[in-house]
Amino acid sequence: MTDTDAAPRGLFRLVYASRFTGADRDLDEALRSILAKSIQNNRLVDVTGFLVAGEGRFLQLLEGPVDSVQATYERIARDPRHADLAVIASGPADRRLFRDWNMGQHRLGAADAALLAEAGQQTFEPAGLDPEVAVRLLAAAGGRHLR
Ligand SMILES: Cc1cc2nc3c(=O)[nH]c(=O)nc-3n(C[C@H](O)[C@H](O)[C@H](O)COP(=O)(O)O)c2cc1C
């Protein structure tokens, strides 16, 4: 592999699932504040990614320089708004999947049955997802952002 083919030095990707600790009716409000803060913080450390939320669950992908992704994840993991964090995938990546978004989000709704069915799920239970299926679901939720 030549240097130009190589993964951008230190590009790292982490995917995890978690459970919202608040009441269902508070999820939209929590999402709004999480997104605003994420975009602000992630931009500063070159992190991009995507967050799918629904049915009291989160599935998030973070990508960027390894130090930035790890520091961001450690901060996120201490957030009392969610619990039961389960890392689905973590390791070097050869390219960004969500380069346009410091953090994009999709709130699952009634129209997303097909999206879940493609991931083999009737209800959104991201913690048990296979890493590739999880990334596909994130990408599908993010529309045409998989390059
Ligand atoms: C599901 C979930 C996803 C989050 N994603 C991010 C993120 O991508 N980037 C980030 O900086 N904070 C994220 N947060 C918020 C952090 O946990 C934390 O509240 C925030 O980074 C604190 O930022 P501050 O120290 O600038 O106030 C997330 C929180 C939750 C519950």
pLDDT in tens, 9-30: 789 999 999 999 999 999 999 9
Average the pLDDT over 32-48 and give the result: 97
The rounded distance, in Å, linking the Cα atoms of 13 and 69 is 7
* Nearest atom, ligand 1, residue 82 CA: 31
CA 34 to ligand 1 centroid distance, Å: 6
- For a mutational test of ligand 1's pocket, the pick from 48, 68, 76, 85, i.e. the residue with the most ligand atoms closer than 8 A to its C-beta, is 76
CATH assignment of 11-141? 3.30.70.100
Per-residue confidence band for 110, with pLDDT thresholds at 50, 70 and 90:
confident
Q: What angle do CA 66, 17, 140 make, to 5 degrees?
A: 85
Question: What's CA 10's distance to the chain center, in Å?
Answer: 19
Is residue 2 over pLDDT 90? no
CA 12 to ligand 1 centroid distance, Å: 18
pLDDT of residue 144: 40
39 lines ligand 1 (CB under 6 A): no
Two tokens, residue 22: 């608040």
Per-residue confidence band for 38, with pLDDT thresholds at 50, 70 and 90:
very high
The rounded distance, in Å, linking the Cα atoms of 69 and 62 is 6
pLDDT of residue 8: 59
Give the number of other Cβ atoms within 10 Å of residue 96's Cβ: 19
136 lines ligand 1 (CB under 6 A): no
Mean pLDDT for the chain?
91
The rounded distance, in Å, linking the Cα atoms of 2 and 55 is 45
Kindly report the pTM of this predicted structure.
0.92
